[in-house]
C-alpha cells in the first residue's frame, strides 16, 4: 500500500457517545477519502493482537477491555501525507495535551478513552489495514 494511506478506528467511547457522524465529517472535511470502512466489534483476541506492542505496559489490560467494550468503526483513509496529517488531525494521545480543533480535543474523554486511533507510520498503516480488511473490501 502506498504511503498516502492510513488506518483509523473510531473507538468504543466515540460510538457510545454518539460522535461517529461528527468525527467522520471532520475526517472528510480535512480532505481524507474513505477507501474502506466497517462497523464491527473487536474480540479479546483481536484487541490483544492489535495492541501487542503495548503488552508490557501497565494499561494493556484496561486498553483491551475498553477496545472490546462496544462497536468500533474501522477505516482506511487516503490523502497526501496521510499518516502525519491524520495524526495532526486527531491530536495528542491525552486530550488534555491535544491542540485546539483536533478530534481528541473535541471528543476524547481521557488518555485511555480517546475516541480515535491513527497509525503512527506507513508500515503500521499497512499492517493495521490488512489486519481489519481483506483486499476485496478495499477500494
DSSP string, 59-128: THHHHHHHHTSS-EEEEEEE-TTHHHHHHHHH--SSTTTPPTTSHHHHH--SSSS-SEEE-SSHHHHHHH
Residues 91-120 as x/- pattern, contact with Mg ion by CB under 5 A: -----------------------------x
Identify the residue among 44, 59, 96, 131 touching ligand IDP (CB under 6 A): 59
Region near ligand IDP per CB under 6 A, out of 1-9, 25-33, 56-64, 68-76: 56-64
Closest CA to 33 of 79, 74, 73, 75: 79
Residues 1-40 as x/- pattern, contact with ligand IDP by CB under 6 A: ----------------------------------------
For 108-114, which contacts have Cβ atoms below 8 Å and span 24 or more sequence positions?
A: 108/13, 109/13, 109/17, 112/59, 112/62, 112/63, 112/66, 113/11, 113/12, 113/13, 113/66, 114/11, 114/13
Active site residue 117: yes
Confirm or reject binding of residue 131 to ligand IDP (CB under 6 A).
no
Structure-block grid coordinates of residue 31: 480532505
In the set 19, 54, 117, 132, the catalytic residue is 117
Confirm or reject binding of residue 93 to ligand IDP (CB under 6 A).
yes
Confirm or reject binding of residue 114 to ligand IDP (CB under 6 A).
yes
- As annotated, the active-site residues are 117
Binding site for ligand IDP (CB under 6 A): 54, 59, 62-63, 93, 111-112, 114, 117, 120
Binding site for Mg ion (CB under 5 A): 120
Amino acid at each position: 500500500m502506498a504511503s498516502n494511506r492510513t488506518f483509523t478506528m473510531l473507538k468504543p467511547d466515540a460510538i457510545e457517545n454518539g460522535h461517529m457522524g461528527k468525527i467522520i465529517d471532520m475526517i472528510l472535511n480535512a480532505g481524507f477519502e474513505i477507501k474502506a470502512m466497517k462497523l464491527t466489534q473487536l474480540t479479546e483476541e483481536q484487541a490483544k493482537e492489535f495492541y501487542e506492542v503495548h503488552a508490557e505496559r501497565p494499561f494493556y489490560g484496561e486498553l483491551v477491555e475498553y477496545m472490546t467494550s462496544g462497536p468500533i468503526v474501522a477505516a482506511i483513509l487516503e490523502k497526501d501525507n496521510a499518516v502525519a496529517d491524520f495524526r495532526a488531525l486527531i491530536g495528542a494521545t491525552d486530550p488534555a495535551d491535544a491542540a485546539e480543533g483536533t478530534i481528541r480535543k473535541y471528543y476524547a474523554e481521557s488518555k485511555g478513552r480517546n475516541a480515535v486511533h491513527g497509525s503512527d507510520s506507513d508500515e503500521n498503516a499497512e499492517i493495521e489495514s490488512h489486519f481489519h480488511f481483506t483486499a476485496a473490501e478495499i477500494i
